[in-house]
Structure 1
């Protein structure tokens, strides 16, 4: 029976690939989904289980932390909790077959802890805890609880993430809040696999394992962020970190991950009104003001929210920041780095109403300031004066609809539907020109839960589409271009015993305009990932994935320079941009290793990502020169290396080490260095983070960042020096004033003068990063 499903699956792939016309391709791809679903015999559905997925557990009595680690690996879920919950906590163990919810309930029996279910996993809370914190990580539909308790709807940011999902990494928002993050660069301070270089907010670029964000699938509440406008502009730089509920980094591809994820994906999810509501309240507000010394920034934000009849939430948010030029570690002002930011969000959220959840959101953020439009002082090097700076305004507006339907009694329906419109614009106010994009799209997916013999399956069928229209208006003439992508995906995730397997295939039908020429085609991208638990707590994993993109790395403004008689790929068919990623590693988790109440987790991951066929400009483009030729760059760029993670905690103390070592190479094995919109290398990176809660209302933290010298550079380039940074954090919630939080963070404590190694060098070197930054914040919620 299983062999028949597989045969039908690959037969459908072959037939679809043989079709040529777009109309028939889309029809054939749709037929493929029906073929695969029809290939599952009716008898299979007679073996379906509840969506909670019944599994056999054999967990011995002992420390609760160790038991939870065993449970997540077996159940394939994420669990979030604060370290303090594990202090002296033990469990009676778990023997027998249970759905996830009932299994957790039995495992937590007698501990005084309950579990709340959300879209990103399960969050553990004290049963009688009057929750008073302000954000959630990985949970949205808090009313799905093992014990219904209206005072438990607000979930605080957990310090520990126990993950059973081998495909995703969830960024710790606890550390982000501790750092008083004020921009995207601060978001990934504790994540060495993600580097943000560029110094100035106008020049910041995101790199995931050395791959620039142009090659990532970046989404905010499901809205894809699309192509760069000019140089790197048009990414996620305007996000307000205080409004984030979850940040997911996915380094291995999956079919249902979305289009164009050549180097992986990063998805951001914003808060709902339900996440901010205090216990016993139906409405409230959160006020925050702050100051950053390095650029004399004044920051402020206001959120007001209400929840009607336990299901319907309304949230309105506005925040702003006014910044002067920042100082580097040498005490010198870095010119043209000042600016003003504004962020607005309005969101309606209907959660867990008759198994439905619906979110409608509208978000707008703007960033204005004076900076160079191109060349040295823009995203290359450091400006030497202010005479070349022009007034610029960057604006992003997003509108999203997200619907989810997951009836608890029907395991064959776990439905997610998303529609979005995303508009980006960059205006050179002094010159009177504007470059913008308008993208609309959406996705629909359903996951079927069923059993085949002794194996348990989560089969996801997905469909997505986007259309992006770009334009450049220089005040007298407007040029336009368009690209679109239609995708279908099948992703099977199964487990049997100690072995888990995920495999799938994605079909993309793409089209992209280059002046008067249109390039179109279609590709199929497979993936496979597996994991096996060798002994309790010790697992090995590995996988391979492919991804394609039919558009290009050419920014929208540059596309306006394409001549009508542009030569495309020397007259040869244009191939889509492609990537393939290999990953393998080992991870281990245990409790009571050194002391009865301690917890340890460790892991090593090796990776190798290759980019090929990048579609780029062959001649013209620079300094406004007409583009006369576009081609598939035959060179292959490779980012390869390894990451090590180690975390240990006991009672109110936690420490974490994260190490990353990788290098980027061209097709001949030579160092690739920093290449715009493609890759960048850094020296080995080590992050050591400590957190201590001597009292429930008092938190201290310390973070060390070490970056080694970068000596493997292209011939003729300068080696890049390494650096060591120190940061401290503290927060206090005075008992005398309920809802008040006072926070302090000092970044670059010893005022180190340094440049990020991924920043592009110009005539005056690379741009300096900010020096010592004393950050103060006061938050009041009622």
Structure 2
């Protein structure tokens, strides 16, 4: 706690000193921002500037400054994202608007994405608009990859960059490069990244089992825009990770139970294909978008005694139009998906449990979302969608169901400086597909089908902006009923109820060439009316508690030099559950981790960018609070890497 108090004192001192400076420019904070009714007012945005500043190596780095967003596991191949305490498979997750169906194996990652490919991420926690897509039980996550227009100046026809990076912890070497251009209405972009490294070590100097790096990621885009404004774009994005991981990839070791190898190879391949048509010269009521996409995650675990392969795929699309109105807009259309989760398993020496099975789900949704300015001080967003689903079990039997979802949110300017906002949604989610690796051809499904999962979300928020100062707060709650929780031995129709609730506070100060901010979140979750644990919370939630985030950045424009630091302070958590005894569980320990960076662009050649980082400055030994299994005496959780020094150099041409 001494480090926690020291960090808070230093931050308060910094704000006290910088408040004497005059803030000549506004600076957009990305914790929560409220804007016009053209967008949902509950959004959390990570913009391209944030990604460039943070230089994230994985999804955990990407969201480290957001106290309500947690990412468990120190290994990207087993990282899982939690928004307001709810695991991401309960959110509608898209990459370039393509639905992701990634619930493959509870020990592996859910959506494996390389932040180097991204230009922005938008999260609608809890209350999501109807046009976000089906199954947004606890909100939506939209990843958006880079475009030519993001990288190439309007007066240029060709460009590119190369980048090399070295991380001392694990001797990780990363090389990446891109070329892009435009000519005669055509645009093209190609990006490739390769990263290799050895085992990383934790804060005590011990190797983190299965933490080697073997990553290949790539992005390709081809577009044509006619003089009429009609634009056609095709994109392909892929991430491949093929390396030895802990036997259970999100756990360092289980000290009880059947003996297993320390590691085994996880070969993960996720790919995304998207075709998009838009009209870049919309007029009045004509602003169409058509998307057709296919996404797939494939996980192969090939051992001496058994072979497992899980594949989840989604063919999906949307046809919609945005109708411009004098005081806002209405977006309406139809979307669909056809998802499949397939398992191929056979034993080399024992064929008792061999299986080739799949579950399938097909859905058609009709939706409309209005975003209106009711007055100069009041804005509202409301929408409705109807979903029609067919679910096919692994025996080939099909059941049909349908339901309605609605949302309403708005904001009101109490004064020129104070904004109040609130939102509510009720969501019908149908029957989610089971995880691939637990499919069991001995399952007996209910004759009348599995009961559909539904949810309710609510938030109340306030934001006060006084010049350079920004103060925000939010209360939120998500209730999910009949969440599907099947198990290999327990059957396909097990269900549970989840409640996640909490609040968030933020304080920021911006000056001409920098900013400082602090965020705090307190999140509790329950499963079937009792405190949640990470085992019962697989694909639902995990104990999080209290999280504090700090970030300070300053630029010296006369030297083209930017430097900054960030910290995550996670307080001890006593509200835990002992799965074995049914009583109170152990206290989860507190930890503090501090990171810093400096970035320089030489004035003689500003196409170069040199960056140095130190991560986990104090060499803390800890497991991220969202990492699985910290409540259990028989589980050794995966620890985070200890102190590391990273240096990178990039050149634009």
Q: Residues 258 and 513 of structure 1: is their aligned pair in 2 closer, same or farther, counting only changes over 3 Å?
A: same
1: CA distance between counterparts of 2:645 and 2:490?
50
In the TM superposition, residue 291 of structure 1 has moved relative to its aligned partner by 1.0
Residues 540-581 of structure 1 deviation map (CA, whole Å, 9 limit, x = unaligned): 11111022222336202222x1326x142xx66532111110
Report the counterpart of residue 69 of structure 2 in structure 1.
194
Secondary structure of 1:702's counterpart equals strand
Q: Report the counterpart of residue 509 of structure 1 in structure 2.
A: 388
3-state SS, counterpart of residue 275 of structure 1: helix
- In structure 2, the CA distance between the partners of 1:323 and 1:520, relative to structure 1 (3 Å rule), is farther
- 1:406, distance to aligned residue in structure 2 (A): 4.8
Can you list the C-alpha shifts for 1:496-537, whole angstroms capped at 9, x where unaligned? 221212222111111222222433200001111121111112
Structure 2 SS opposite 1:636: strand
Compared CA separation, residues 540 and 211, structure 1 to 2 (3 A): same
Q: Is the 8 A contact 2:548 2:568 kept in 1?
A: yes
Kindly indicate whether residue 266 of structure 2 is the aligned counterpart of residue 403 of structure 1.
no
1:708 aligns with 2:571: yes
Q: Structure 1 residues 321 and 439, CA, compared in 2 at 3 Å: closer, same or farther?
A: same
Match of 1:491 in 2: 369
Asked if 2 retains the 8 angstrom alpha-carbon contact of 1:177 and 1:242, the reply is: no
In 2, the alpha carbon distance for the partners of 1:388 and 1:671 equals: 28
Matched residue SS, 1:214: helix
Q: 1:698 aligns with which of 532, 541, 561?
A: 561
Aligned residue number for residue 418 of structure 1: 291
Deviations 1:107-166 (A, max 9, x none): xxxxxxxxxxxxxxxxx9xxxxxxxxxxxx9xxxxxxxxxxxxxxxxxxx9999774341
Deviation at 1:353, TM superposition (A): 4.5
Cα deviation digits, residues 221-270 of structure 1 (max 9, x gap)? 11111141121546322x22122111101112221110111111111111
Written as runs of structure 1 = structure 2, the 5 A alignment for 1:556-705 is: 556-559=436-439, 561-563=440-442, 566-568=444-446, 573-591=449-467, 599-617=468-486, 621=488, 627=489, 629-633=491-495, 635-668=496-529, 670-672=531-533, 675-695=537-557, 697-705=560-568
Q: Taking structure 1 as reference, are residues 228 and 348 closer, same or farther at Cα in structure 2, changes over 3 Å only?
A: same
Q: Say which SS state the counterpart of residue 614 (structure 1) adopts.
A: strand
Q: Which residue of the other structure, out of 177, 180, 183, is the alignment partner of 2:52?
A: 177
Q: Could you say which structure has the greater relative contact order, defined with CA pairs below 8 angstroms and 6 or more residues apart? A: 2
Contact kept in structure 1, 2:290 and 2:320, CA below 8 Å: yes
Between 1:330-339 and 1:713-722, the stretch displaced more is: 713-722
**Greater Cα radius of gyration, structure 1 or 2:** 1
**Matched residue pairs, number?**
604
In structure 1, which of residues 358, 364, 380 is the aligned counterpart of residue 251 of structure 2?
Answer: 380
Equivalence for 2:162: 287
Q: In structure 1, how many angstroms separate the alpha carbons of the residues matched to 2:229 and 2:407?
A: 32
Q: Which residue of 1 aligns with 2:580?
A: none
Distance 1:279 1:511, change over 3 A: closer
Q: Flag the 1:386–1:401 CA change in 2: closer, same or farther, 3 A.
A: same
Q: Quick check: 2:575–2:584 contact (8 Å CA) kept in 1?
A: no
Aligned equivalents of 1:532 and 1:399: distance in 2? 40
Cα gap change, 1:173 to 1:658, in 2 (>3 Å): farther
Secondary structure of the residue aligned to 1:629 is: coil
Once residues 397 and 703 of structure 1 are traced to their aligned partners in structure 2, the CA distance between those partners, rounded to angstroms, is 32
| 1:160–1:304 CA distance, 2 compared to 1 (3 A) | farther
> Contact 2:329–2:371 (CA<8 Å) still a contact in 1?
yes
Give RMSD over aligned pairs: 2.6
Matched, 1:543 2:423: yes
Post-superposition offset of 1:636: 2.3
Tell me the secondary structure at the aligned position of residue 150 of structure 2.
helix
Distance 1:388 1:353, change over 3 A: farther
Q: Deviations over 1:65-95 (max 9, x none)?
A: xxxxxxxxxxxxxxxxxxxxx96479xxxxx
Conservation of the 8 A alpha-carbon contact between 1:272 and 1:313:
no
Show CA shifts across 1:750-782 (max 9, x none). 100011222222624322111112111110111
* Rounded Cα–Cα distance in structure 2 between residues aligned with 1:581 and 1:358: 36
1:352 is displaced (CA, Å) by 8.0
Residue in structure 2 matched with residue 466 of structure 1 by the alignment: 337
Is the 2:33–2:43 contact (alpha carbons within 8 Å) kept by the matching residues of 1? Answer: no
1:320-335 equivalences under 5 Å are 320-335=194-209
C-alpha change, 1:549 and 1:632, in structure 2 (3 Å) is farther
1:176-212 alpha-carbon deviations (Å, 9 max, x no partner): 3333211111111111121001222232111011101
Instruction: Report the 3-state secondary structure (helix = DSSP H, G, I; strand = E; otherwise coil) of the residue aligned with 1:186.
Output: helix
Q: CA separation of 1:722/1:400 partners in 2, compared to 1, >3 Å: closer, same or farther?
A: same
**C-alpha separation between the residues in 2 aligned to 1:230 and 1:266?**
20
- What aligned pairs does 1:86-485 form with structure 2 within 5 A after superposition? 88=24, 163-164=35-36, 165=39, 166-231=41-106, 233=108, 235-237=110-112, 239-251=113-125, 252-278=127-153, 280-309=155-184, 311-350=185-224, 353-374=227-248, 378-382=249-253, 387-408=261-282, 410-430=283-303, 431-451=306-326, 456-475=327-346, 478-485=356-363
Report the more deviating stretch, 265-274 or 165-174.
165-174
Partner Cα separation in structure 1 for residue 296 and residue 531 of structure 2: 39
CA contact (8 A) 1:247 1:269 kept: yes
Distance in 2 (CA, whole Å) between partners of 1:485 and 1:314 is 33
Q: 1:525 aligns with which of 405, 416, 420?
A: 405
Normalized against structure 1, the TM-score is what?
0.73
The separation in 1 between residues aligned to 2:238 and 2:197, in whole angstroms, is 19
How much does 1:280 deviate? 4.8
CA distance in 2, matches of 1:649, 1:354: 43
Which runs of no fewer than 5 residues in structure 1 stay unpaired?
A: 1-85, 91-123, 125-136, 138-156, 592-598, 622-626
Deviation at 1:632, TM superposition (A): 4.9
Does the C-alpha gap of structure 1 residues 661 and 351 become closer, same or farther in structure 2, counting only changes over 3 Å? Answer: farther
Structure 2 match to 1:130: none
Q: Residues 588-630 of structure 1: CA distance to partner in whole angstroms, max 9, x if unpaired?
A: 2232xxxxxxx2222111101011101222xx51xxxxx4633
- SS, match of residue 431 in structure 2: coil
| 1:771–1:176 Cα change, 3 Å | farther
Contact 1:253 1:547 in 2 (8 A): no
Q: Secondary structure at the match of 1:300?
A: strand
Query: Which shifted more, 661-670 or 602-611?
Result: 661-670
CA contact (8 A) 1:225 1:235 kept: no
- SS for the counterpart of 1:557 is helix
| Contact 1:317-1:345 at 8 Å conserved across structures | yes
